[in-house]
């Protein structure tokens, strides 16, 4: 059977996963009466909740006796490690662009990688039925983007389709061809995307692209067969990038994507995307090949991590009361398992053996990892995200990661955004109208300054601003940045918080806990109105006497506490504080719980 391999590239929320839903429906993959979930490719719970794609996934449809393998890629730069590997598996790409928003930073990031590896793009302008659609300007913006990314003349001569993925149609003109459905898109893929360039008669070779741990099959590696064929029970080996053999074993199971299901097959042919089970060590970016092969295939280099966090064993007095995976060995095994499948993550063990340095592309990627772990029953403490600095090899000066930040905001709030970004040492490079009384502001900002800015931006702009970030470059250190101005309220004892005590402490600052919550010495219970930290007693109840009062003063009315989400907590804490994460709670605490020891550390730091 003939084959085409394509990736769908788009920014977050431009409609990738919805488009794949329609392609599956209209190609006859589903039975007519089959009940199918919306956004069927977002299978992970976190993906469904956040409405974003985190893991790249493959599916396939058959159109006019040609098998089209479709890969749905993540749209967040934090999950870019997934994107880069995927592009090695495909021969073409559908670049999906919102008819109102136009090409966004993440589109630029992935399209740049796709053009670099020589993929021929098809541009699909989605959501043309939006009231604020500006179709012709967006087409010009896409062309300018491709030109800026050094596209070849052949790549610049891209075909364009217009349509609405949600309504299930694409056409060669914006006026619409709803009656034809997805037929123009399918036909264009067959015409424009070349069949895979493969060597049928050469020995079997394949680059590992995706890795997963299956409870029944063990380690499963997915990739596209570059040459030859592979059979079930065949003995193969794995070569790293230097050509060294890292693993050898028998293919216990060979799976191919047929619709949404992975089906066991006996033989995988060159050009097809298959999953191999049975090898214990082979991983992503390594070459799976026949025994006679000695040269590995070239794998795409991956951008370095820019943010690092410390994951520690939870040593608070409440450790082990809410989760069942609390030991350093369990946390270590889980992190190493994650790093095997996610090449954008880097795990290092500290000398104390009870903490780990986890580096990734951004705090969203690390927050998703922490959220996944807590849902699996893990308890751990994590530090504030820190950026990964570098030394310039020639001058010896410190370099820090700089990101390109694009903020779409209503004109009335633009001044406060510019002010806050300049405080964070950001340089504005562009300001232009983006339609509907909105401005598009483009900055080059240090990653350090952006940690925790998302929630502040939404507060400043009444929730109307949209911020997108993309790694730009390493540049000389920009100097000190302003930190959190307020101190914290710290519990001085262990027990359950009492409403009367919280009520009496309200003038000291807003609280983060409710009556009945368990607290311990060194736990942060609120934000102080002043700059210094203050130890408070939240366990102290009202003294009872025999005197009856006329007023019903026992009916205490409390101000609602500050609700800390995981991302907000990570951005809010200082260097000497941690976030304690359990399956049921997110608590904030000081790294050193003992108040006397904390004072000693402060005096040592002051002396140094």
Q: What is the pLDDT of residues 57-115, one digit of tens each?
A: 577 888 888 888 887 766 444 445 556 667 778 888 888 888 888 887 667 767 877 88
Hunting for tokens 């006019």 — which residue is that?
64
Say what the pLDDT of residue 352 is.
74
Mean pLDDT of the chain: 82
pLDDT at 152 over 80: yes
User: Out of 153-162, 458-467, 575-584, which region has the weakest mean confidence (pLDDT)?
Assistant: 458-467
- Pairing mode, if any, of strands 586-590 and 523-527? antiparallel
User: Does 156 share its domain with 212?
Assistant: no
Q: Is residue 143 part of a domain?
A: yes
Say what the pLDDT of residue 291 is.
92
User: Does 438 share its domain with 545?
Assistant: no
Tokens representing residue 58 in the block: 């493959």
In 271-413, alpha helices (H): 328-341, 363-375
Q: Is residue 345 part of a domain?
A: no
Q: Is residue 426 part of a domain?
A: yes
User: Does 92 share its domain with 148?
Assistant: yes
127 is in an annotated binding site: yes
pLDDT category, 495, cuts 50, 70, 90? very high
Residue 349: strand, helix, or coil: strand
Say what the pLDDT of residue 300 is.
62
Q: Is residue 372 part of a domain?
A: no
Q: Which of 476, 511, 528 is the last residue of a domain?
A: 476
Say what the pLDDT of residue 346 is.
85
73 is in an annotated binding site: no
The 10s digit of each residue's pLDDT in 445-483 is 998 888 878 778 888 888 888 787 777 888 898 888 877
21 is in an annotated binding site: no
CA distance 589 to 463: 29
pLDDT, mean of residues 270-284: 85
Domain CATH number, residue 240: 2.40.30.10
Looking from the CA of 67 toward its CB, the CA atoms found within 13 Å total 16
Q: DSSP state, 295?
A: S
Domain CATH number, residue 514: 2.40.50.250
Residue 548: strand, helix, or coil: coil
User: Does 115 share its domain with 15?
Assistant: yes
Q: Into how many domains does the chain fold?
A: 4
Q: DSSP state, 244?
A: -
Q: Is residue 601 part of a domain?
A: yes
Element (H, E) at 238: strand 235-239
CA distance 389 to 307: 9
Max Cα–Cα distance, the chain, nearest Å: 98
129 is in an annotated binding site: yes
Domain CATH number, residue 108: 3.40.50.300
pLDDT at 400 over 80: yes
Query: What domain range includes position 264?
Result: 205-289
User: Does 431 share its domain with 282?
Assistant: no
User: Does 472 share its domain with 588?
Assistant: no
Say what the pLDDT of residue 251 is.
92
User: Does 78 share its domain with 225?
Assistant: no
Q: Is residue 39 part of a domain?
A: yes
Q: Which of 167, 192, 217 is the last residue of a domain?
A: 192
Going by C-alpha positions, the residue among 492, 442, 436, 494 that lies closest to residue 472 is 442
Residues 6+ apart with CB under 8 A from 447: 306, 307, 362, 387, 400, 401, 402, 403
User: Out of 15-24, 344-353, 532-541, which region has the weakest mean confidence (pLDDT)?
Assistant: 15-24
User: Does 472 share its domain with 498?
Assistant: no
User: Does 212 share its domain with 103?
Assistant: no
Q: Which of 165, 192, 219 is the last residue of a domain?
A: 192
User: Does 87 share its domain with 181?
Assistant: yes
Element (H, E) at 6: strand 2-10
User: Does 178 share its domain with 69?
Assistant: yes
392 is in an annotated binding site: no
15 is in an annotated binding site: yes
Q: Is residue 299 part of a domain?
A: no
Residue 79: strand, helix, or coil: helix
Domain CATH number, residue 441: 3.30.70.240
Going by C-alpha positions, the residue among 519, 518, 517, 515 that lies closest to residue 501 is 515
pLDDT, mean of residues 557-562: 87
CA distance 222 to 29: 22
User: Out of 11-20, 236-245, 333-342, 420-429, which region has the weakest mean confidence (pLDDT)?
Assistant: 11-20
360 is in an annotated binding site: no
Going by C-alpha positions, the residue among 48, 110, 24, 102 that lies closest to residue 74 is 110
pLDDT at 55 over 60: no
391 is in an annotated binding site: no
User: Does 262 share its domain with 129?
Assistant: no
Q: Is residue 335 part of a domain?
A: no
90 is in an annotated binding site: no
13 is in an annotated binding site: yes
- Pairing mode, if any, of strands 160-164 and 120-126? parallel
């Amino acid at each position: 059977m003939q084959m085409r391999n394509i990736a769908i590239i788009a920014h977050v929320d431009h409609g990738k996963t919805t488009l794949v839903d329609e392609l599956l429906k209209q190609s006859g993959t589903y039975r007519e009466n089959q009940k199918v979930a919306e956004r069927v490719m977002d299978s992970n719970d976190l993906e469904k909740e956040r409405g974003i794609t985190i893991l790249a996934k493959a599916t396939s449809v058959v159109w006019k006796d040609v098998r089209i393998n479709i890969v749905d890629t993540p749209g967040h730069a934090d999950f870019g490690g997934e994107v880069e590997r995927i592009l090695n598996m495909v021969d073409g790409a559908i670049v999906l662009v919102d008819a109102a928003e136009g090409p966004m930073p993440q589109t630029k990031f992935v399209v740049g990688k796709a053009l670099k590896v020589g993929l021929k793009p098809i541009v699909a302008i989605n959501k043309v039925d939006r009231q604020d659609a500006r179709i012709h300007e967006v087409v010009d913006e896409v062309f300018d983007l491709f030109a800026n990314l050094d596209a070849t003349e052949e790549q610049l001569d891209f075909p364009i389709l217009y349509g609405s993925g949600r309504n299930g149609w694409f056409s060669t003109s914006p006026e619409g061809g709803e009656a034809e459905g997805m037929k123009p898109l399918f036909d264009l893929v067959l015409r424009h995307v070349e069949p895979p360039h493969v060597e049928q008669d050469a020995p079997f070779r394949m680059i590992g692209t995706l890795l997963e741990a299956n409870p029944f099959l063990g380690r499963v590696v997915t990739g596209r067969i570059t040459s030859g064929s592979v059979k079930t029970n065949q003995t193969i080996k794995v070569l790293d990038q230097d050509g060294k053999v890292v693993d050898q074993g028998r293919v216990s199971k060979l799976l191919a994507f047929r619709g949404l299901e992975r089906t066991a097959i006996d033989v995988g042919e060159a050009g097809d995307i298959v999953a191999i089970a049975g090898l214990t060590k082979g991983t992503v970016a390594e070459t799976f090949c026949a025994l006679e092969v000695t040269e590995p295939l070239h794998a795409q280099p991956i951008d370095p991590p820019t943010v690092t966090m410390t994951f520690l064993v939870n040593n608070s007095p409440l450790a082990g009361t809410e989760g069942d995976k609390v030991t350093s060995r369990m946390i270590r095994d889980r992190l190493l398992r994650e790093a095997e499948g996610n090449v954008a993550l880097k795990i290092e063990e500290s000398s104390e053996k009870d903490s780990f340095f986890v580096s990734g592309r951004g705090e969203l990627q690390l927050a998703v990892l922490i959220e996944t772990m807590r849902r699996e029953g893990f308890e751990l403490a994590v530090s504030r995200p820190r950026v990964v600095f570098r030394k310039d090899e020639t001058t010896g000066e410190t370099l820090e990661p700089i990101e390109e930040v694009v903020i779409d905001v209503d004109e009335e709030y633009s001044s406060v955004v510019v002010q806050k970004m300049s405080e964070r040492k950001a340089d504005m490079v562009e300001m232009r109208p983006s339609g509907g009384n909105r401005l598009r502001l483009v900055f080059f900002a240090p990653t350090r300054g952006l940690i925790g800015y998302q929630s502040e931006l939404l507060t400043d702009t009444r929730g109307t601003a949209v911020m997108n970030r993309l790694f730009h470059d390493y540049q000389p250190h920009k100097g000190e940045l302003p930190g959190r101005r307020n101190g914290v309220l710290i519990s001085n004892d262990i027990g359950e918080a009492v409403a009367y005590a919280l009520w009496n402490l309200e003038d000291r600052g807003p609280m983060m806990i409710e009556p009945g919550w368990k607290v311990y010495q060194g736990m942060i219970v609120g934000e102080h109105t002043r700059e210094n930290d203050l130890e408070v007693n939240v366990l102290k109840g009202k003294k009872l006497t025999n005197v009856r009062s006329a007023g019903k003063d026992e009916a205490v009315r409390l101000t609602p506490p500050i609700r800390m989400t995981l991302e907000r907590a990570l951005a809010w804490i200082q260097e000497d504080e941690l976030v304690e994460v359990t399956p049921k709670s997110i608590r904030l605490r000081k790294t050193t719980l003992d108040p006397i020891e904390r004072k000693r550390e402060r005096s040592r730091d002051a002396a140094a």
